[in-house]
Structure 1
Amino acid sequence: MTGIDHNTGTEEIRDRVAAQLTRARERSRALTDAVDDHDLVRQHSKLMSPLVWDLAHIGNQEELWLVRDVGGREPVRQDIDELYDAFKHARSARPELPLLGPAEARGYVGEVREKVFDVLETSPLEGRRLLDGGFAFGMIVQHEQQHDETMLATHQLRVGPPVLHAPPPPPGGPTGPAEVLVPGGPFTMGTSTEAWALDNERPAHQEHTAPFFIDTTPVTNGAYANFIADGGYADARWWSAAGWAHVREAGLVAPRFWERDGDRWARTAFGVTAPIDPEQPVVHVSYYEAEAYAKWAGKRLPTEVEWEKAARFDPVSGRSRRYPWGDEDPTEAHANLNQRHLSPAPVGAYPAGASPLGVHQLIGDVWEWTSSDFHGYHGFEVFPYAEYSQVFFGPEYKVLRGGSFGSDQAAVRATFRNWDYPIRRQIFAGFRCARDASPGESA
């Protein structure tokens, strides 16, 4: 993240913003330069936009907010605003639009970025809520990194030889007991102080939980394979009515990208097919699959409140931390983030990132489904636009937490909230289980 707070000086904020903008653009460039122009403009899945749309959309949002609004400058390409408005055209229809070609898109985002750096140098970074702490710039950094993760998901859906490369994640290690007790009582959820936190993370408020147990690690490939072997996909007992209807209609028999290889399972990831690692968290499962596994295991999915309490609550001090390990920004020792690797790491790979209660890998590796619908907190206020969060509030979307190996640390916090339809499987999503604590267990 940024570590920016009210004590951070203006010049330091400028330096940090510039570094974050540069990091995000290097990643966008790497994801789009990895393929030829044909792959840039084609649609690899109806669920996703062509990569070239994402690239120009990144530039258009940057132009709208930083060049025109914050900077008060003349438009660079006002004529393309509607083409790159995510609410105007469904992803499936975007290839039919008169989009900017690869060279034109690259030129456009480059021109916008030059103007943005000029705006950054001249902006007071105060006097408007949009400017305080560099929020508008931080919002755009996060927007680009979120689209970079979307483009990474598009790469996963791409058919062909591998074009992305990264070292394997570190090995796993001991994780202690399978589950830990999270004590009942109040804790502070959300934030009112994180400079770049988005509107749905605000305001900080008190929540109360009963005592509950939560798994110390995400559910692994090996554990999920046992659910499959026990006939989990063919047994209606484990599925909600909506989940069972979907699994039958879609013909699901395993996580997305899994296939049988003799008497074992293999998974294709970014063009490489290999046997599943039983110790890695399962990924590319829908909410319905996570829910069914949890019921089969005699447990349930955690609520969003429970997830955040497990991730932030320090039982010694009673305060909520920025991250499970403390208040310092993530490092390579804490979490599998920043597209540093192209898969989740085996459980126990990041002992330095564990929470005070001993819960591992809450940040990075896989987004974790919760049982909660997406809604605003009490006191929610739209800022700076309703289309970021508010238009998605309701029972259609389930909340995911924690980020994935494809998330950047600028766009992941222990308060950060993601959401998606419960059928989605192309995202880098997994889960962990929870269960109620009986009176004897919570004593």
Structure 2
Amino acid sequence: MTDILEPASATPEALRERIATELLAARARTAALTDCVDDHDLAAQHSPLMSPLVWDLAHIGNQEELWLLRNVGGRDPMHPEIDPLYDAFEHPRSERPSLPLLPPVEARAYAHEVRGRVLDLLAGTPLEGPEPLLQGGFAFGLIAQHEQQHDETMLITHQLRQGPAALVAPPPPPHQELLPAEVLVPAGPFTMGTDTEPWALDNERPAHLVDLPGYWLDTTPVSNGAYQAFIADGGYREPRWWTTEGWAHRCAAGLRAPLFWVEDGGQWLRRRFGTVEPVPADEPVLHVSWYEADAYARWAGRRLPTEAEWEKAARHDPASGRSRRYPWGDEAPGPELANLGQRHLQPAPVGSYPAGQSPYGARQLMGDVWEWTASDFRPYPDFRAWPYREYSEVFFGPEYKVLRGGCFAVAPVACRGTFRNWDYPVRRQIFAGFRTARSADTA
């Protein structure tokens, strides 16, 4: 099997410093997302699809306590009576506002107290030895990723929230460049998944060889302008472009454009974090379901890429034969490489980040928008659930479609070339777009 370059080993001191940096960065973002609205907004449910922000805030603290203070540190529970309230499997999101949740002041105090104890635990915990949870600081990395994932969830809630804007961020820099419409990924094997990424989650493992036929992949995600052409050509009125299930959902839900779009006087407008603005033609399309992405691809005479096709285009280096951590190489994401970490509250124009392109020439495979793939969420060969079944295993099956690449709301700690996301094909509130592909033997 082709080797994957293992990240450079860090000293225990450097690893502790990195963990502390990631934990503090996540908490600063959590504070920014929850301090910008009043207590009423925190406790309100802005959509039945999402939890109240105050639930996410206390859930973050509760999971940190469970995994680090109790499992790693062997501490007694701080407030065992609240565990069922913040168990994501115990209560669906639509029911959470009716629970006796901690009010905002208490939720903040609880999360703050847990974090203080965790930083003390980190200072005295060996990050090597036989305990798998501690190897490479995995348990701490798990919690840093978990908090950032909930920060993305809370940002989705902010997008669904009515009222004036509570968040501000500068727009991405403009970008104009003539690029080829598609890039060729030749036939051949590549190593998918990882055995060496220290904070990779169970569904990213193990590394395994996948041999693919050649295919063409869009150089960039599909733009708003391209998607408007699909709408204008009657794409939402033609059942021939849709799967049977997709057409039934389109009709039942009354879909006629991406979520948050409205047509006014022949112009498409969108609502973005409390601001109504013209839809920018040069940005990747956002807030489309898998069914919409699949219909567009059929209309365009193409298809969605499989998950393996996406990962090969993003990671495989044909010169060396190995798989990289990121499209651009193995170094951590920086602002010149990808639109990540909520630096901007929107995708960058298509074609941006030339320094972040893959060896095959595809751009924006990391950041900007999650990209729907054609694949169901399935385990890799020899998959092993760890450290708990509920992270991945209970979701495997045809009900969920895989998304790849992260988006502008994803933190670098929770985004890499092997990271897998999944959701129902009807979901539109997530920051998802797509790119299309075609087999190399098609015209």
Partner of 1:204: 207
| Residues 175 and 217, structure 1, Cα contact 8 Å, conserved in 2 | no
What secondary structure, in the 3-state scheme, does the structure 1 residue paired with 2:236 have? helix
Q: What is the CA distance between 1:79 and its match in structure 2? A: 1.1
Q: If the length of structure 2 is used for normalisation, what is the TM-score?
A: 0.98
Partner of 2:245: 242
Please say if 1:289 is aligned against 2:292.
yes
Task: Work out which of the residue numbers 367, 370, 394 in structure 2 matches 1:367.
Answer: 370
State the 1:173 CA deviation.
2.8
Q: Which runs of 4+ in 1 moved over 4 A?
A: 3-6
Say whether the 8 Å CA contact 1:175–1:347 is kept in structure 2.
no
**Partner residue of 2:122 out of 113, 120, 123:** 120
Match of 1:231 in 2: 234
Question: 1: distance between equivalents of 2:369 and 2:83?
Answer: 33
One-letter amino acid of the structure 2 residue matched with residue 279 of structure 1: D
Q: Distance in 2 between matches of 1:5 and 1:386?
A: 27
Corresponding residue for residue 59 of structure 1: 61
Q: How does 1:38-437 map to 2 (within 5 A)?
A: 38-127=40-129, 128-174=131-177, 176-437=179-440
Partner SS for 2:389? coil
CA contact (8 A) 2:326 2:417 kept: yes
Equivalent residue of 2:191, what SS? strand
SS of the equivalent of 1:232 reads coil
Residue type of the alignment partner of 1:276: V
SS of aligned partner of 2:375 = strand
CA distance in 2, matches of 1:376, 1:264: 44
The separation in 2 between residues aligned to 1:301 and 1:118, in whole angstroms, is 47
Amino acid at match of 2:272: A
1:173 aligned counterpart, secondary structure:
coil
Q: Distance in 2 between matches of 1:217 and 1:333?
A: 17
- Identify unmatched segments of 5+ residues in structure 2: none
Q: State the distance in 1 between where 2:128 and 2:121 align.
A: 13
Match of 2:398, SS? strand
State the SS of the aligned residue for 2:65. helix
Letter in 2 for 1:325: W
Matched residue of 1:289: which SS?
helix
- Percent identity, aligned pairs only, is 66
CA drift of 1:126 comes to: 1.9
The amino acid across from 2:383 in the alignment is F
Q: C-alpha displacement at 1:319, in angstroms?
A: 1.1
Match of 1:34 in 2: 36
Q: Residue 6 of structure 2 contacts residue 196 of structure 2 at CA under 8 Å; is this kept in 1? A: no
Paired with 2:403 and 2:219, the residues of 1 have a C-alpha distance of 17
CA offsets per residue over residues 378-409 of structure 1, 9 Å max, x none?
Answer: 01111100000000000000000000000000
Cα offset, 1:227, TM superposition? 0.2
Amino acid at match of 1:185: G
Alignment root-mean-square deviation, CA = 1.1
Q: Could you tell me how far apart the structure 1 residues matched to 2:281 and 2:211 are?
A: 35
Contact kept, 8 Å, 1:4 with 1:13, in 2: the verdict is no
User: Aligned partner of 1:135: which letter?
Assistant: F
8 Å contact from structure 2 (residues 189, 210) kept in 1: yes
Superposed CA offset, 1:334-354 (max 9, x none): 000000000000012211110
Deviation, structure 1 residue 261? 2.0
Q: 2:7, 2:330 within 8 Å by CA — same for their partners in 1?
A: no
Q: CA deviation at 1:4?
A: 9.0
Q: Distance in 2 between matches of 1:210 and 1:418?
A: 24
8 Å CA contact 1:175–1:216 kept in 2: the answer is no
How much does 1:125 deviate? 1.1
Distance 1:174 1:139 in 2: 39
**Matches of 2:336 and 2:7 in 1, distance apart?**
24
Q: TM-score, normalised to structure 1's length?
A: 0.98
* Contact 2:351-2:363 at 8 Å conserved across structures: yes
The 2-side partners of 1:19 and 1:232 are apart by 47
Distance 1:126 1:165 in 2: 41
